[in-house]
Structure 1
Amino acid sequence: MSGRITFILTFAVVLCALSLVNSQYQARRQFIELERAQAAARQLDIEWAQLQLDQSTLGKHARIEANARRDLHMVAVSPDRTQYLTTGGK
């Protein structure tokens, strides 16, 4: 009877040890996955900041005006080229 109890206790200790090893492995794996996700989040934050900077640069009025003049051959409105519409007889 004593041998049987020893066998059962030994088996229980081995199962507990295997369970501990498995839980440590899972914890390490999840920690590595967390680190990768945090690194990806930091990279996305950097890209987002760069895109915001690009958007503010591309949206400046002076740049838009220069592109309109150069690419579309547009000019600013002058008083001699302005037509005024009035309501009524004149």
Structure 2
Amino acid sequence: MTGRLSFVVTAMLVLCALSLVNAQYQARRLFIELERAQSAARQLDIDWAQLQLDQSTLGKNSRIEALARRDLNMVSLTPERTQYLTVRDK
């Protein structure tokens, strides 16, 4: 009886030890995954801030006007160049 009890206790002890090792492995794996996700989130925040800065820079009226003048050969509208259309009553 003592030999059988000793075997059962030893088997349970081994199972508990294996369970502990598995739990530690899973915890490490999840921690590494969490660190990677946090790193990706930080990179996305940096990218978002850069995109907002780019948008504010590219959307400035002075830049748009300069590009229109240079690339499209556009000029500012003057009253002399303005044509008004009127609707005639029938």
* TM-score under structure 2 length normalisation: 0.94
Q: Which amino acid aligns with 1:59?
A: G
- Give the whole-Å Cα distance in 1 for the aligned partners of 2:8 and 2:85: 102
Aligned position for 2:26: 26
Kindly state the Cα deviation for residue 84 of structure 1 after the two structures are TM-superposed: 1.4
Structure 2: which 5+ residue stretches go unaligned? Answer: none
Aligned position for 2:15: 15
Alignment of 1:4-83 (within 5 A): 4-83=4-83
Moved over 6 A (4+): none
Superposed CA RMSD = 1.0
- Give the whole-Å Cα distance in 2 for the aligned partners of 1:68 and 1:57: 16
Structure 1: which 5+ residue stretches go unaligned? Answer: none
Q: Deviations over 1:13-35 (max 9, x none)?
A: 01001100110110011001101
* TM-score under structure 1 length normalisation: 0.94
Identity of aligned residues (%): 74
Kindly state the Cα deviation for residue 54 of structure 1 after the two structures are TM-superposed: 0.3
Aligned pair count reads 89
SS at match of 1:86: coil
